[in-house]
Amino acid sequence: MKKLFYIILIEIFFISNAYMSNFKWVQLKYEGNWDPVPNVYIDVINILTLTTSITCETERVIIDISSPKFAFELSQSPFIIILGNNEINLTKEQINVLRSYVINGGTIFVEDVSELRYSKFDTSIKKLFKEIFPEYKLKKTASDNVLMKSFYLLTQVTGRIILNDYLEYIEYENRPVIIYSRNNMISCWARDRFGKFLYECLPGAEQQRFNSQKLFLNIIMYSLCGTYKSDQVHQPYIDQRLKLRKW
Amino acid sequence: MVDVKINLIVIIFLCLLLITYFFYLLKNKKLYISIFFRTILFLILIILMLKVSYKVLTINKKFDVIFLIDNSYSMTFNQRLSKVNTFLEKNFKQIEKKANVKYFVFNDDAQKIEKNVKIEVTKKNTNIKKSIENILFQNKNVDVIILFTDGNDIYEKYPDFTGYKTVVYPINFNENNFKDVAIKDLRYSTLGFKGTNYELTCVILNYGYDNKNILVTIADEKEVLDTKRINLKSGKNEVKLNFVPKDVGKKRYYVKIEHLLGEVSYENNKKYFELEVIKDKIRILYICGEPSTEYYFLRSMLKNEPNFDLVSFVILRNNDSQIIVPDEDLSLIPFPIHDIFVKELNNYDLLLLENFSYKKFSIPVQYLENIKRYVSTGGGFIMIGGKNSFSLGGYKNTPIEDILPVEIYENEEFVKQDFVPKVNDYFDPLLKIYDNLKHNESILKNIPSLKNYNKVGYKQGSKVIFWHPVDKLGQNYVPISSYWKFDKGRVFTISSGNTWKWVLENMLSKNYDFKNMYVQFWKNVIYWCGGITEIKNIRILFDKENIVVDDNIKIRIVMSGKHTIEPELYVTYPDLTKVRLNIKKISLQEYVCEMNFMSKGRYAFTAFYNENNVVYRDDKIVYVRENIFDEIVNLKINEDYLNKIANITGGMVINYDNFELEEIIDHTRKNKGKEYSLNYEIYNNFLVGIVFMLIFISEIFFMRKFR
């Protein structure tokens, strides 16, 4: 099954349908290492198009935080991704824009790819969260969190490594608005030009990689469906399937 | 003060003239006069440059005192105003001897009164800040204000004493045995649902009845709806009351607390409130063809709205999507086509289809016939645009085409474009964001853009909300959003599935709340399609909610579409007399009149017009209450406020029984000390300039004469 997944991933052919796309990969560019795994978006979009009904834009959109059009560009993108492994410093004005973005419906996915327990990125991003949302605290996902079931049913939070067995998030108006991962799940997608994965997943190897990829797809599905899978109508089915699963 | 300044300068000037004359008599006139004039000119220049001023101490000055007496409604309780009248009557002569006294009464503003006049209470609220500031403005040099008030000011703001040296001495009435229970606040939603439990929180203030059990009751005009017994603790107490509204419509209820022996007033033991009762929650079935940002935003909004009961289905995977994991690893549930379109449809008030093509799921056309029947019998239907909506979703030549308020065509285009929708009618009820029509129009004129749309056509009989600004189909612009009534049901369409942009672009807006606009717009649509609100061709609107006695309110009549027929507006007063009101035409759609609500009670308004033998009308009921309720909620003397106002000015709260004007004057003099002086700014006096010019001219004159 996993092999099939990878083969399809390599072979999929794109039809550009940007104008009616519902998902755009939008990444934030800032001073520092903002793009540690540059081309993974292609594989993510491929697999989304292949396995779900989501229409995706094939080109990545990069929003430069220092651009004078930063706020406007952000206002056109309901979901943005922030990656990094080093310190991230934003001005007060940029923080205010991000706060306003989130309050008005935007969702941010942040990943610390440093793989360090105590990283500069982690310290600075948590400081940033406090500045964006001083009134809210980071929460930890439980096994029944919507992010664990928005498309694939998952029981564990993983990545290339497992630094935390949970995702962290800030909730506003009953929805996770900032989702924060420390397990470097984005690197599970990175491949070389021959299609071979660049980074080994530890300790669970390929099964861990597959689960991490599914978790990342769940986060994207969440950005388009919200807490849909928490609706009561789904619960009996989800419970039944969880019972049927062979672990 | 000004007199002193002028005299001083005039005297100096005369002295200078005299000295000049003296020099004139001397032998070497030219030299002496020249030296003298130039010295004077030099001195004046020094004065001007160094901005010289001087102070005069006025320690023995007779004080200017103002007696400022609160005659608002709360002063009627515990005989507060009677005490003031007695006090003034008793001390009038003594006061007059010791100071220059003026008398003012105040409620929502201050007003001067004659000496020795008996002060009457008014049914007005208190505004201490405004009253004192107005008095200070008119009496700049007043030394002392003796303030008789209970401090029950609903605004509770402090006057601005900047630039004034006035000292305020509030008088405390010594009400140590004050006892009262009052309804301080009712916390409630203005909207209730028929047959659903309605909860209200009543906040009760208690002074002097600790540990007493009292009954709290909620009732309408006919019957008691709920009663709770609570044990009072000191200060604030909260009690929750519940009842189930039985009938729909706007109704008036009241909450009442039991009367206790020895209370200062029973007037604050009862409070009215109004509730709009509508039928129970709107049940919405939302089917979305694929995950989308529009779904994410709209679902969040609908979920957060307690009046909506939402069941939604999103198609997460197409029939042609690859399957890379076993079914038990997916959270997907089967799409219950038969249940939705056959069995369950009638259990919902509203069916919403977003970018959903029935063809993709092999849904039989008979099921679409069910939808048409469902709408015909009173159901609501919404279609949101997308590449699988309208004709692109295969709905051409199906029963759905009949119910849509737009024309759809075989060769429908899905246009990729950003555009700012053009509002068809700013008075459209579905576009009512604010009660204030100007605000409403203003926000709609600045509406953010939408993206992409299905090119559908205008259908005769439908009402268009937004047009495309430039794109035309035939003679008409492309309708972006339309609605109509189909038989007994209501149908709404919006051909752009990107209204979420209004919310996210709110982050760029400084002047308008587009997030609120989005929520309100969709709520209006859902309420209408769900059969909760009736869209009327004529509506009566008031500029203010919660009208109180003496309010002057603008009443607007807004008509849907442009008419040449003038509507009529009638009011039935609380005494049941019926009067036609004169209305003024503002535009072809809007009429306005002003009305003063002079007494409390029920006012019934009816507006109507007759067009082609059809009468269109709207009725509104308004309950007007006394303005004084807020004032009497907490009747206890507000000692904190009195202390603070005294402290700001350097005064102190004086006990009513220990009042001595002489002590107050001494206290003021002692506290203010040397600072209590008059400051004269010589440099700032225009006479100094005139003196300078005169000496300068004189010097030239003398020099020429004795050359």
Q: Which amino acid is residue B61, in one-letter code?
A: K
Cβ contacts of A73 on chain B, cutoff 8 Å: none
Q: Which domains does chain A have, with CATH numbers?
A: 2-244 (3.40.50.12140)
With an 8 Å Cβ cutoff, is B306 touching chain A? no
For residue A205, what are its two tokens?
């190897």
Indicate if the pLDDT at residue B407 is higher than 70: yes
Q: Which of A173, A229, A237 sits opposite B304 (nearest CB)?
A: A173
Q: Which residue has the higher pLDDT, B633 or A187?
A: A187
Partner residue opposite B324 with nearest CB, options A8, A78, A79: A8
Across the interface, do B331 and A71 touch by the CB < 8 Å criterion? no
pLDDT of residue A247: 47
Assess whether pLDDT exceeds 50 at residue A9: no
What is the least distance, in Å, from the CA of A111 to any CA of chain B?
22
User: Is pLDDT at A1 greater than 90 in this prediction?
Assistant: no
**B463, B431 Cβ separation under 8 angstroms:** no
Name residues 134-163 of chain A within 8 A of B (Cβ).
149-153
Q: Confirm or reject contact between B271 and chain A (CB < 8 A).
A: no
Distance CA B213, CA B233 (A): 10
pLDDT given at position B675: 46
Mean per-residue pLDDT, B538-560: 83
A1/B328 touch (CB, cutoff 8 Å), yes or no = no
Q: State which H helix or E strand residue B30 sits in.
A: helix B29-50
Average pLDDT over residues B130-150: 89
Does B416 lie at the interface with A, CB-CB under 8 angstroms? Answer: yes
Query: Quick one: residue B355, left, alpha or beta (phi over 0 = left, psi -120 to 50 = alpha)?
Result: left
B450 interaction partners in chain A (CB closer than 8 Å): none
In percent, how much of chain B has pLDDT > 90? 41
* Tokens, residue B368: 């679409």
A-chain residue closest to B506, CA distance:
A104
pLDDT tops 50 at residue B543: yes
Inter-chain touch B507–A76, beta carbons under 8 Å: no
Residues 6+ apart with CB under 8 A from B157: B128, B129
Provide the pLDDT confidence category of residue B354 given band limits of 50, 70 and 90.
very high
pLDDT tens for each residue of B254-289:
999 999 999 989 989 999 888 888 766 789 999 999
Which of A215-219, B99-103, B393-397 has the lowest average pLDDT?
Answer: B99-103
Which residue reads 């605290």 in tokens? A137
Q: Which of A45, A55, A75, A223 to mutate: most B Cβ within 10 Å?
A: A75
Inter-chain touch A105–B503, beta carbons under 8 Å: yes
Residues in A closer than 8 angstroms to B500, CB to CB, are 78, 105
CA distances from A216 to A184, B102, B287, B445 (A): 10, 79, 25, 41
- Which chain A residues have a beta carbon less than 8 Å from that of B297? 78, 105
In chain B, the residue whose alpha carbon lies closest to the alpha carbon of A97 is: B507
Q: In Å, how far from its chain's centre is CA B120?
A: 32
Q: For residues B252 and B220, is the Cβ–Cβ distance under 8 A?
A: yes
Question: Residues B429-453: what's their mean pLDDT?
Answer: 90
- CA B610 to chain centroid, in Å, comes to 35
- The pLDDT assigned to A232 comes to 78
Tokens matching residue B131: 């009253």
Q: What distance in Å separates residue A244's CA from the closest CA in chain B?
A: 7
Which of A5, A22, A56, A246 best probes binding to B when mutated, by most B CB atoms within 10 angstroms?
A22
Best-predicted range by mean pLDDT among A139-148, B16-25, B428-437, B611-620? A139-148
Q: Which of A5, A78, A97 sits opposite B296 (nearest CB)?
A: A78
Dist CA A246 CA B197 (whole Å): 45
Do A234 and B303 count as a contact with CB atoms less than 8 A apart? no
Within a 13 Å sphere around the CA of B69, how many CA atoms are in the beta-carbon half?
28
Structure tokens at B110: 């201050």
Beta carbons of B485 and B405 less than 8 angstroms apart: no
A 215-244 residues inside an 8 A Cβ radius of B: 221, 223-229, 231, 233-234, 237-238, 241, 244
> What distance in Å separates the CA atoms of residue B455 and residue B478, rounded to the nearest whole number?
7
Inter-chain touch A153–B330, beta carbons under 8 Å: yes
Residues of chain B contacting residue A175, judged by C-beta atoms under 8 Å apart: 300
Mean pLDDT score, B169-177? 85
Contact between chains at A173 and B311 (C-beta distance less than 8 A): no
User: Higher model confidence: residue B573 or residue B34?
Assistant: B573
pLDDT tens per residue across span B190-234? 777 777 788 899 999 999 999 999 999 999 888 999 999 999 999
Least confident of A60-69, B413-422, B429-438: B429-438
- Which of B283, B348, B502, B507 is the mutation pick for testing A, counting most A CBs within 10 A? B507
- Do the strands B590-596 and B552-559 form a parallel or antiparallel pair, or are they unpaired? antiparallel
Distance (Å) from the C-alpha of residue A101 to the closest C-alpha of chain B?
6
Answer whether A13 touches B (CB < 8 Å).
no
A90, with CB counted inside 10 A (0-12, 13-18, 19+), is buried
Chain B interface disruption, residue of A10, A26, A51, most B CBs within 10 A: A51
**3-state SS record for B307-319:** CEEEEEEECCCCC
Q: Give me the pLDDT at residue B1, please.
A: 37
Percent of all residues in chain B with a pLDDT value above 70, rounded to a whole number: 93
**Considering the entire predicted model, what is its pTM?**
0.64
Give residues 309 to 368 of B whose Cβ lies within 8 Å of A: 310-318, 321-333
**Residue A84 in this model has a pLDDT that exceeds 50:** yes
Q: What is the DSSP string of A57-80?
A: -SS-EEEETTSTTHHHHHHT-SEE
- Cα(B672)–Cα(B678) distance, rounded to whole angstroms? 12
CB nearest to A19's CB, from B314, B326, B452: B452
With a CB cutoff of 8 Å and minimum separation 6, the contacts of B658 are: none
Average pLDDT over residues B650-670: 83
| Contact residues, chain B, for A45 at CB < 8 Å | none
* Interacting residues of B167 by C-beta distance below 8 A, sequence separation 6+: B143, B144, B145, B649, B650, B651, B667, B668, B671, B672
Measured between alpha carbons, how far is A53 from B292 in angstroms, rounded to an integer? 10
For residue B448, give the DSSP letter: P
Give chain B's mean pLDDT: 86
Chain A nearest-CA residue for B385: A20
> pLDDT tens digits, residue range B369-400?
999 999 999 999 999 999 999 999 999 999 99
